[in-house]
């Protein structure tokens, strides 16, 4: 029975997956070997092999020392995924929801195969599922927030305001930038509350908010005293509550 099992399709596919995962995750192999492994996993994924699809998607998690090779290989994986069809779309959606890794490339694939409304609705869903609490590596959140600046509907805009209060300073900075660029309703109030919050200690964000209020002529209302403590050199709040230089 052991011999029959070894030569069965299931056992052969299992060995293919193990070999491909080793090659796809090792940047010291030749590019042609990694791309051969990617092709093998795409062929299995076309037979609705979920494990093979996940192995193929994991190529996005590794960075080749050569930026050109890295980009070319990931572009090739995107093309392979597009050739698989709806099975790859559903699997990639699930991957994006579950991964803690950067999501630029899997989202690039979804951009390629979904229309703008579908893609933006999915982005809103993932943002809604993402906490603004501490995470060891915020690269996924950063990627989502940056995508929101390019693909947005009302649900995306609502979620972006949550990330103004994210644990990570870089996420907060980019969320504030997106909220300002998209002119999200209610942004002034949320940003003002955050500016005077004792939890915000980043000088970079204090300066970012000061520039935003100055350029837009926004009033700080009854928060003038607290705002004055967080203004950059040369800025002040006038009698009307307007921040100016």
Distance CA 9, CA 4 (A): 10
Boundary of a domain, candidates 139, 166, 185: 185
Residues of the chain with pLDDT under 70: 1-7
Domain check: are 50 and 70 in the same one?
A: yes
What Cα–Cα distance (Å) separates residue 34 from each residue in 31, 41, 55, 74, 101?
A: 5, 11, 12, 11, 20
What's the CA dihedral at 70, 76, 80, 86 to 10 degrees?
Answer: 70
Domain check: are 96 and 54 in the same one?
A: yes
Domain check: are 149 and 87 in the same one?
A: no
Residues 113-132 pLDDT 10s: 999 999 999 999 999 999 99
Boundary of a domain, candidates 185, 200, 228: 185
Domain check: are 179 and 191 in the same one?
A: no
Quote the domain boundaries for residue 231: 187-245
Q: In the numeric block, which tokens belong to residue 134? A: 């501490």
Domain check: are 90 and 145 in the same one?
A: no
Distance CA 175, CA 173 (A): 6
pLDDT attached to residue 47? 96
Asked if 166 and 137 touch (Cβ cutoff 8 Å), the reply is no
Domain check: are 213 and 162 in the same one?
A: no
Token pair 């906490």 is at which residue?
131
* Ramachandran assignment for 243, one of left (phi > 0), alpha (psi -120 to 50 degrees), beta (any other): beta
Domain check: are 140 and 73 in the same one?
A: no
Q: Within a domain: residue 174? A: yes
Q: In the numeric block, which tokens belong to residue 190? A: 């949320």
Domain check: are 61 and 129 in the same one?
A: no
Domain check: are 11 and 79 in the same one?
A: yes
Domain check: are 196 and 218 in the same one?
A: yes
In the three-class reduction of DSSP (H, G, I as helix; E, B as strand; rest coil), residue 211 is classed as: helix
Q: Which of 115, 118, 148 is nearest to 130 (CA)?
A: 148
Q: What value does the mean pLDDT of the chain take?
A: 95
Residues 27-74 pLDDT 10s: 999 999 999 999 999 999 999 999 999 999 999 999 999 999 999 999
Domain check: are 95 and 38 in the same one?
A: yes
Work out how many domains the chain is built from and give that number: 3
Boundary of a domain, candidates 93, 113, 133: 113
Domain check: are 40 and 84 in the same one?
A: yes
């Amino acid at each position: 029975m052991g011999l029959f099992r070894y030569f069965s399709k299931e056992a052969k596919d299992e060995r293919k997956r193990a070999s491909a995962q080793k090659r796809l995750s090792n940047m010291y192999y030749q590019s042609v070997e990694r791309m051969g492994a990617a092709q093998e996993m795409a062929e299995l994924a076309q037979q609705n092999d979920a494990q093979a699809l996940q192995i193929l998607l994991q190529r996005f998690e590794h960075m080749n020392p050569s930026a050109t090779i890295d980009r070319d290989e990931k572009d090739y994986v995107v093309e392979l995924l597009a050739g698989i069809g709806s099975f790859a779309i559903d699997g990639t959606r699930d991957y994006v929801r579950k991964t803690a890794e950067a999501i630029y490339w899997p989202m690039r694939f979804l951009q390629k195969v979904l229309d703008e409304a579908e893609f933006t609705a999915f982005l809103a869903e993932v943002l809604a599922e993402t906490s603004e609490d501490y995470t060891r590596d915020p690269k996924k959140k950063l990627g989502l927030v940056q995508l929101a600046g390019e693909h947005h509907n009302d649900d995306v805009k609502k979620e972006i305001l949550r990330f103004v209060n994210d644990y990570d300073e870089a996420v907060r900075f980019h969320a504030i930038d997106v909220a300002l660029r998209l002119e999200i309703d209610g942004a002034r109030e949320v940003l003002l509350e955050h500016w005077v919050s004792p939890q915000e200690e980043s000088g970079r964000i204090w300066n970012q908010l000061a520039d935003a209020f100055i350029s837009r002529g926004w009033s700080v209302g009854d928060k003038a005293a607290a705002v004055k403590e967080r203004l950059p050199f040369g800025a002040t709040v006038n009698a009307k509550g307007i921040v100016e230089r």
